[in-house]
Each structure stands twice: as structure tokens, then as C-alpha cells.
Structure 1
Amino acid sequence: MEQSRMLIVDDNPEIREVVTVLLEGEGFCLEEAADGREALEKIKRNRYDLVLLDIMMPGLDGYQTCMEIRKRSNVPILFLSARTQVEDKTFGFSCGGDDYLPKPFSYPELIGRVKALVRRYHVYQGSGAEKNEKKLCCGGLEVYPEKGTVWRNDKEISLTDTEFSILCLLLKHRKQIFSVEHLYEAVWEEAYYYGAANIVMVHIRNLRNKIEEDPHAPKIIRTVWGRGYRCD
């Protein structure tokens, strides 16, 4: 089986070295970038299964780098940052990040987040299935779970793997109401914690902006006030 390739982007060489040693010890292949511009150049030339991205960097910061990456790739992005305020995390997800791990982080935390993101990416983005596979349909969308693609009127809609995971979960369980806690634990594959509600809400908002004709009056992903979300 081919090794998963990852890019660690951090202006601190010691952080890059530590993360590289830890993840290579788990069998992953690591490359390094010292800033956002170098990271973007590498992403132009190479395919990665995960980008680990610092926020406070000279030149392009992590948020700006994340937005630029999202213009060309749906590779999972894990923020690694000493900025731990809720608004920092929320803005990171709004920029297109998939997960956020505060510094200093523990070895088990890092490995757990990395493996979960790579596993989801391979499930939803790595298959070679054809467009005529079994599909899920809702509100004019055609969703192909095995290939990891979403279409409307023969035009593909670009989603991150986290957004795709949320959409598939709701579509596979039509009319079932998912609480924020249930949705988080099912998609992120870890225990719900204080602050995770903001993570879910930001991803739902980003997803609606991409798939709904009117994100302010959603017809695909509906909010059941006080209970959670569902697809009718």
C-alpha cells in the first residue's frame, strides 16, 4: 500500500522536525515547508493526503495559506497553532480547515487527528469508482459516496472531505435528526467536547453555501431548532 504523503508547514524548524519524526514513525511520508508561499509551490507540484498548517507565519499566515490551498485542492488541512481562542478556531474552519489542534499537543492527539483525517480522505476522495455508481439524490444534487463527488446539472461541486462526510451521513439517514453532538462524534470520530458545536456549525454553513440554491433558506440540510440537523 502506498504511503500517505503529508506536508508540514511551520516557520519553526524544531516543530517541523518533531512532527516529521513522530509521523514518519507511524509510517507516513513527510515533506516540509517553512512558510505559506513554499507550501503553495509544493502543492502545485505534488499530491498530498494531508497538510499540517501553522497559523502565525511571516508573509502569508496560515489562514491566507489555507484559503489559497482551497482554490486548487480539497486536501485535508489540520491547523496546528498556539492560538486557542474559539474565534481563532472558528475562523480557521471558515477558511476551509478540516480540524484544529492547539499547541502544545500530545503525541496521541496528533496521531489520532492525523489518522482520522487521512482515513476519511481515502474513503471519500481516493476511490476510482465511475460516475454510474450508486448515488444519493436530494434537492437536485447527485452524490456519489464511493468516488467522493457531488454534481448538480452535470457540474461538479467541490467539497472538502469533512463537508462531504457530513453530507453523506445526513443523506444516508434521511429524515433522521442528528444532534450537534451526534454529528460531531460520527464525522470527527472522537468524543464531543465544549466548543465542538462551533466547529459543526461552521462546517454546516460552509456546506450550505456550496450546495443550497439559497443558503439562507436551506432545503437540503434543514435545521430542527433545539434538536439538530436533517436531510428530508
Structure 2
Amino acid sequence: MAKTVDIGFALNYQYANLLNITPEEDEPTWAYMGPGIEDISPDRSEKTDETEDYSTGGNTVTTVTGVTKTTSVTGKRRIGDPLQDYLASLEECFGDERETQYRCVSPTGEIIEEEVTLKDINMSGPNGAASDKQAISFGMARNDTPTLIQPAKGHHLPATIAVEDVTVSVGKTEQVTPTVEPATSSDWCLYAIENPDIAKVTADGIVEGIAAGKTRLSVKCAAKPSIRATVDVVVSEA
């Protein structure tokens, strides 16, 4: 049985932030908001109604009637990153093209989804001193009540992970399903393909075969990245 260790104070990197980069498709493609991203800061402002009448003894009764949430994101431009390239493609777009879905995976495994509008997109260069990495920024304005996709699994850190090798054909996909222990820890993982010319992987672990060959897939627990595994990915001709 895996040893249980409490999460304790949650660190910001333990949250996995995802953006759907194909909102026009029936099935979402989740991209990880990680490479090059340095700061993610939500801001909530509340709309209130203040009333006083004879029944309150002259005291004011405050009622929260609405919540506005905007999240600001800053970092450095990483060309080739799926999420950043998607944002760059929207810089001169407006209307419905700026609307998509955002997911936040907590260290407890809880997954919350929000309908958002992407705003204040600044992905073009140059932006900064000559030898600096190009600075980027964008915002996400929430448009609706958040949806609970998955409840929290518990308050423990991952201790072990097991992942099977992946076999997939060119043009086909295969879902990677890590087994993380203890069961009271988040099983959300971060994925990276060694050779993207052979295969690619989405933020939720869907591997697609690109060309026949063999490569490696790295899988690590978002809540505790030191818990990781590396497996083979074999892509065969269709």
C-alpha cells in the first residue's frame, strides 16, 4: 500500500491549467498552460446590493448579486507550443472566435471548467530588450457559472505511478491511462513526447500516431512531478 502524505500548502505549479484549442470541433483538444507561462493570476470582483429598511434597525444589508472573474496570464513566447500558437492565431480575431473553454485541475484532483472569452492577447514580437525572451500576455474573462467536471479525489500527494507502453497506428489515437496511488491522490498527469515527428500527445493523454517508428512518452504527476514514468510509444503503418 502506498504511503499517504498530505498535500499541505498547495503550490501554484501543482494546478494544471488547460485550454481547449479546438472550440469549433465537437471534441475538445486540451492544451497545457505550462511551457513559457510564468504567472496565472485570477481576479474576482463582486457586484453587491446594499439595502436598509425599518426592519434592519437602520443597519445595511449587503447581498452579493454577481461575480466577475478575469484571469491574467503572463510569460515568455515559446514558438511551437500548441497553446501559445493557438493564442497567437487569435490576436487579430474577435467575436465568437475568442470564445473557448478553460479547465483548472486542483492538486486534489478536482476539475472545474469555465466558458471563457480570450482577451488582451499580446503574442506578437518583438516585446522587450534585444537579448530578452519575448514577453507575452493574455486574459480570460469567465462567461458563465463554473462546471464541476470531477470532484476532489482526496488530500494526499501521489506516491507511485504505473503506465503501460503505447501502440498506435498512423492517424489513429490511443488514450493513456496512468494508475496513480494512493487512490486519495490526484491522478492528473502531464505528458511529453520525445519525438513529435513520430507521435504527439494532448494534455489529457491522447496519443496520436504521426509516422511509423518508435519514441518515448514521459508521464509525471501534476501534483508531485517527481513521481513519473517513461514508456515506449510504437507507431505502426495504418
Is the TM value for this pair above 0.5? no
- Which of the pair has the greater relative contact order for Cα pairs under 8 Å at 6+ separation? 2
- The structure that has the greater radius of gyration is 2
Q: More helix by proportion, 1 or 2?
A: 1
Q: TM bucket by the smaller chain?
A: under 0.3
| TM-score normalised by L of structure 2 | 0.25
